Amino acid sequence: MAIKPVLRMGSPVLASPSKQVHDFSKSILLPIIRDMLDTMKDEGGIGIAAPQIGCNMRLIMFGFDESERYPGEEAIPFTVLINPEIEILSQQITEDWEGCLSVPGMRGLVPRYDEIRYRGQDEKGQWIERSVSGFHARVVQHECDHLDGILYPERIKNLKKFGFEEELKHLIWPEDL
């Protein structure tokens, strides 16, 4: 389909809650899903939410085998998730570095729940339910935040741990030095 421009932090679309999907017609969903996939791949992302390409639907996708943006992280199966819901399974919270295609060139240290269960439907309307932890749980929380109009910088506790990836790389990937 097409690579779309990714909306950036400051766009009102990214700050607004997205709408529940009721119509699962292929003619509506598939073009958007293809555009999201093409855009995510072009940008080297591991997840994307529909509002990032200007579509205010509760639709996210994520997954990767190996990622240059997140080296060393365990693979996540490629997943399309519509109307996702998250249940927190443990109050344990961990901080780790995140980036976002809508906040290009930046990284921040973001607290997320360690263990969640998520549930939603794929593009065929089939239900997906998984209990996950670690990076997988982090990615899903990040993408679901987009559907509520929240970007990761809003979650950062210490803004000294927010900045340009180039400047922060000694903190993000210390083992590489």
Q: Rounded to the nearest whole angstrom, what is the least distance from the CB of residue 146 to Ni ion in the complex?
A: 6
Report the phi/psi class of residue 2: left, alpha or beta, with left for phi > 0 and alpha for psi in -120 to 50. Answer: beta
Segment interacting with Ni ion (CB under 5 A) among 32-40, 66-74, 96-104, 114-122: 96-104
Q: In the complex with Ni ion, which residue's Cβ is closer, 22 or 61?
A: 61
Q: In the complex with Ni ion, which residue's Cβ is closer, 33 or 100?
A: 100
Q: Rounded to the nearest whole angstrom, what is the least distance from the CB of residue 27 to Ni ion in the complex?
A: 27
Taking the CB of residue 139, how many other CB atoms lie within 10 A of it?
A: 23
Tokens read off for 131? 């209990």
CA 66 to CA 18: how far, in whole Å?
29
Tokens read off for 17? 């809650």
Segment interacting with Ni ion (CB under 5 A) among 30-38, 75-83, 92-100, 125-133: 92-100
CB-closest chain residue to Ni ion: 100
| Interaction between residue 36 and Ni ion (CB under 5 A) | no
Q: In the complex with Ni ion, which residue's Cβ is closer, 21 or 53?
A: 53
Residues in contact with Ni ion, total (CB under 5 A)?
Answer: 1
| Interaction between residue 100 and Ni ion (CB under 5 A) | yes
Segment interacting with Ni ion (CB under 5 A) among 17-25, 55-63, 82-90, 97-105: 97-105
Active site residues: 143
Q: In the complex with Ni ion, which residue's Cβ is closer, 49 or 82?
A: 49
Q: Which residues bind Ni ion (CB under 5 A)?
A: 100
